Amino acid sequence: MHSSNLPAAAGQLTIEHFRNGLATELSDLSRCIRCESPSSNKEAVLASARLIAEIGTARLGTAPDEIVVDGRTHLRWRFGQGRRRVILLCHHDTVWPIGSLAAHPYSVESGVLRGPGSYDMKTGLIGAIHALAALRGCYGTLDGITLLVTGDEEIGSPTSRPLIEAEAAGCDAALVMEAAGPDGALKTARKGISIYSIDITGHAAHAGTEPERGVNASVELARQILAVSQLGDPALGTTVTPTVASSGTTGNTVPATARLAIDARALTTAEQERVDRAVAALTPALPGSTLNVGGGINRPPLEESSGIGLFRRAERIASVRGLTPLDHVGVGGASDGNFTAGIGVPTLDGLGAVGGGAHADDEHALVEKIPERTALIAWLVADVLGLA
């Protein structure tokens, strides 16, 4: 089926092309998953980057730039300048420690692919490479496309964020290869994340003989937990959650210090900024105690307004091409797509694996969905770039 609303050359690519390439895609994916790459292990991330560079060079015809920041390795393929530009965002680090393959080996059984990082997000990464390889075969060029593969997403992208924002600036679209939502839904919204810590200082005293001479940091901690827990707004999807709390040194001493960690998430920039102001304005409740509030906004929201237009493109493509009908969803977790949306680039997320079990023993991807996702990525890139 072909539509005049889609690029003519992209019409030469059929779903059968991607199904016929599945064995090769799975071979590359097998190598990628078997190369363990926990974010905390810089040497492992380097080895993974070198392998992905080898796979990508073979499929795309050119080697990437290897970018090392603070010992963490990222890869960038940047093709030409292009009148229009699109960036594909991937990461190759995982949460799985070295040795996880022993208990969770790579396998494909009954149409289910398993292994560390299979769902989050090595299937999406390899899918992006094969989608671009198909476009290269169709057009002979990938002008206007950047493929960025980072190595620290799972720990908050501390070294890759400036790179992501610089590469995405001015792009017409950012396509994120994170795993899909439930039933393969694309992700048009993600909550922004703020991370705070509150250090509380009181005054120590003997708990048995003169507790009245102390300033109990544990009591102040309890009051701050109650105050913080009131800052959320369930109706707007805003959550402000006290998480890790600690105080005291010995069982017979009025605690002199305490510490509280806070996780705050919001669907809109306005809500994220409201919470940020409220946390910064917290004051001690107990006379003689002091607060030191640290942290702040970590990732801006990916608001639905940023992704819905691209979703409509993808939805139309799926309909024209006979793919599984698409749905979209907003989720609480963040990705590097939050950064691109935060600088004003239209961003669509969840274009990677259909499956489940991210970060868990049941992590898996559905093999039959891989060709469809690879095809969707290719056709969406062509559509955004207006290729003909």
Assigned token pair, 71: 């010992």
Q: How far is CA 323 from CA 58, 88, 313, 382, in A?
A: 28, 21, 13, 16
273 an active-site residue? Answer: no
SS3 287: coil
CA–CA separation, 388 vs 378, rounded Å? 13
Assigned token pair, 170: 């001015």
153 an active-site residue? Answer: yes
Question: What is the rounded end-to-end Cα distance, in angstroms, of the chain?
Answer: 17
Assigned token pair, 204: 């120590």
With CA atoms as reference, report the closest residue to 85 among 19, 171, 24: 171
Q: Which residues contact 270 (CB under 8 A, 6 or more apart)?
A: none
Catalytic residue among 153, 167, 363, 383: 153
Under DSSP, the state recorded for 118 is: I
Catalytic residue among 25, 28, 36, 93: 93
With CA atoms as reference, report the closest residue to 278 among 287, 288, 286, 270: 270
With CA atoms as reference, report the closest residue to 367 among 117, 158, 112: 112
3-class SS shares of the chain: helix, strand, coil, % to 5: 40, 25, 35
Q: How many CB atoms within 10 Å of residue 240?
A: 21
368 CB-side CA count, 13 A: 5
Positions annotated as catalytic residues are: 93, 153
